[in-house]
């Protein structure tokens, strides 16, 4: 990456000016939303423009960076060890997040006697049917669906729908093949590497808009919630559930992930968090780890100094399948719902929740509230009807932001950990 220029040097300092601008933007955004929600909602267009600019970058960036990563390795077989390290990291942290969620929700018991299922926010019949359809029945079927997510019959359609997994798989195989073709394809390989560099530079440009874009995104969404009056009412009804998920997420990010980071790098994890703060705050503001990916990649290389080699694979794949925050939330939410409707889950059933929450998190796309949809998998598995999702619906837009921030931080720690496997 061309980390040259005054901005690159400046942003090496954790808590750089940009992060401070973003933080100030978020504080003002929430203030405006609470004070003048209808004015705040007018900023929606600005937020949408920023989101589109980020999303616009995702597909070209993923394809170019994965391909240029393989080309840089010179041989796809060199991906073996780091690839294995990445997959082990994703699986281990997701599992730890789910277990933590299960422990916290059993300790706090936010659902017991707190919620009256009669107050269930009703979902339209159409939505229930949609959710029921989305939920496969057996474990085999879930695994089959996950496997099929890797393949596409039309690369352009996948690109148009920002379905990253088939694009990543194709990029790895295609670039791996290019490395065996020697001088016959030097023009193509050279172009891919240059396109990747150019795209990363372009993201530096986009990041200058981040405080403004984030202000618009946050104020419009919080303003909408305030105008609908769901702030107080929502938190009153499901406040314990909300807090339970938050405590779990905070523990996972600040203890589990920080410890893992420290064990592998022997560096201060909180400094690393500060270095990744622009990505974490963008994740909070967009509620989408895919849309945040360009900023995550830029921050990891420029601010945190992780090598491009590690970032190029670990972050695109991580943004798509590694979702610690979502996994933790899926487990807490499913058990909360069971508690609220008086269904006592046995240890074996909690085990089923653990497995299906992991799969539901892997299957969730990195877009806003995707976890809410894949939650049907978990509910189905323990025999809870999908309409009970109504119990957690009203706070989901807000929780989504926190879990997306943890998802993004988890991916970044993964890149730092996998860095070790390259040496
Ligand atoms: N919004 C989350 C993400 O993009 C996914 C989810 O949990 O809904 O990472």
Render 7-62 in DSSP notation, one character per residue.
Answer: HHHHHTSTT-HHHHHHHHHHHHHHHHHHH-HHHHHTTHHHHHHHHHHHHHHHHHHH
Residue 320 has pLDDT above 50, yes or no: yes
Q: Ligand 1 pocket, 371 CB below 6 A? A: yes
Q: Which two tokens stand for residue 47?
A: 């937020």
- Which atom of ligand 1 is nearest to 361's Cα? 7
Contacts of range 163-169, beta carbons closer than 8 Å, 24 or more positions apart: 163/365, 164/58, 164/59, 164/62, 164/290, 164/316, 164/319, 164/320, 164/366, 165/320, 165/321, 167/59, 167/62, 167/63, 168/62, 168/66, 168/316, 168/317, 168/320
Q: Ligand 1 pocket, 370 CB below 6 A? A: yes
Higher pLDDT: 341 or 53? It is 53
* pLDDT bracket for residue 116 (50, 70, 90): low
Residue 136 has pLDDT above 60, yes or no: no
Q: What global pTM score does this model have? A: 0.87
- Which atom of ligand 1 is nearest to 329's Cα? 7
Q: What digits encode the pLDDT tens for the residues 324-363?
A: 999 999 999 999 999 988 888 889 999 999 999 999 999 8
Q: Ligand 1 pocket, 288 CB below 6 A? A: yes
Distance 368 CA to ligand 1 centre (A): 5
- Which atom of ligand 1 is nearest to 319's Cα? 9
For residues 168-187, give the mean pLDDT.
92
Q: What percent of the chain has pLDDT over 90?
A: 58
CATH class of the domain whose range is 6-422: mainly alpha
Instruction: Quote the pLDDT of residue 19.
Output: 86
For residues 204-219, give the mean pLDDT.
91
Q: Ligand 1 pocket, 323 CB below 6 A? A: yes
Q: Which residue minimizes the CA distance to atom 6 of ligand 1? A: 371
Instruction: Quote the pLDDT of residue 377.
Output: 86
Distance 324 CA to ligand 1 centre (A): 10
Angle of CA points 312, 318, 321, to nearest 5°: 140
Q: Are 131 and 389 in contact (CB under 8 A)?
A: yes
Instruction: Quote the pLDDT of residue 9.
Output: 44
Residue 149 has pLDDT above 90, yes or no: no
pLDDT, mean over the chain? 87
For residues 197-204, give the mean pLDDT.
90
Q: Ranked by mean pLDDT, which of 2-6, 147-151, 355-359, 401-405 comes out on top?
A: 401-405
């Amino acid at each position: 990456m061309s980390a040259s220029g005054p901005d690159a040097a400046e942003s090496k300092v954790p808590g750089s000016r940009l992060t401070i601008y973003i933080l100030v933007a978020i504080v003002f955004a929430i203030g405006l939303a609470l004070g003048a929600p209808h004015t705040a909602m007018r900023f929606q267009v600005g937020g949408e423009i920023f989101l589109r600019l980020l999303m616009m970058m995702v597909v070209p960036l993923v394809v170019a960076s994965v391909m240029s990563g393989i080309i840089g390795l010179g041989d796809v077989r060199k991906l073996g060890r780091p690839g294995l390290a990445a997959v082990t990291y994703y699986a281990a942290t997701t599992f730890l997040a789910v277990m933590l969620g299960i422990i916290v929700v059993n300790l706090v018991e936010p659902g017991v006697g707190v919620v009256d299922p009669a107050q269930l926010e009703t979902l339209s019949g159409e939505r229930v049917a949609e959710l029921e359809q989305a939920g496969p029945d057996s474990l085999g079927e879930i695994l089959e669906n996950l496997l099929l997510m890797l393949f596409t019959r039309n690369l352009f359609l996948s690109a148009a729908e920002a379905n990253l997994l088939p694009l990543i798989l194709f990029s790895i195989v295609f670039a791996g093949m290019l490395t065996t073709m020697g001088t016959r394809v030097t023009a193509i390989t050279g172009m891919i590497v240059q396109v990747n560099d150019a795209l990363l530079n372009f993201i530096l440009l986009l990041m200058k808009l981040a405080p403004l874009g984030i202000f618009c995104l946050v104020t419009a969404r919080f303003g909408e919630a305030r105008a609908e009056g769901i702030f107080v009412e929502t938190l009153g009804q499901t406040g314990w559930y909300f807090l339970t998920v938050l405590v779990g997420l905070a523990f996972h990010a600040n203890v589990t992930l920080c410890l893992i980071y420290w064990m592998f790098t022997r560096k201060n994890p909180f400094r690393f968090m500060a270095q990744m703060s622009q990505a974490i705050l963008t994740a909070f503001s967009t509620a989408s780890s895919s849309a945040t990916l360009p900023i995550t990649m830029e921050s990891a290389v420029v601010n945190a100094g992780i090598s491009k080699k590690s970032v190029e694979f670990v972050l695109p794949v991580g943004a798509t399948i590694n979702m610690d925050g979502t996994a933790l939330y899926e487990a807490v939410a499913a058990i909360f719902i069971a508690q609220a409707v008086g269904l006592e889950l046995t240890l074996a059933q909690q085990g089923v929740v653990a497995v299906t929450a992991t799969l539901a998190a892997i299957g969730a796309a990195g877009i806003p509230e995707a976890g809410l949809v894949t939650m049907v998998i978990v509910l189905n598995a323990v025999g809870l009807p999908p309409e009970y999702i109504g119990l957690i619906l009203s706070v989901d837009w807000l929780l989504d932001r926190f879990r997306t921030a943890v998802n993004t931080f988890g991916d970044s720690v993964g890149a730092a950990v996998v860095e070790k496997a390259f040496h």
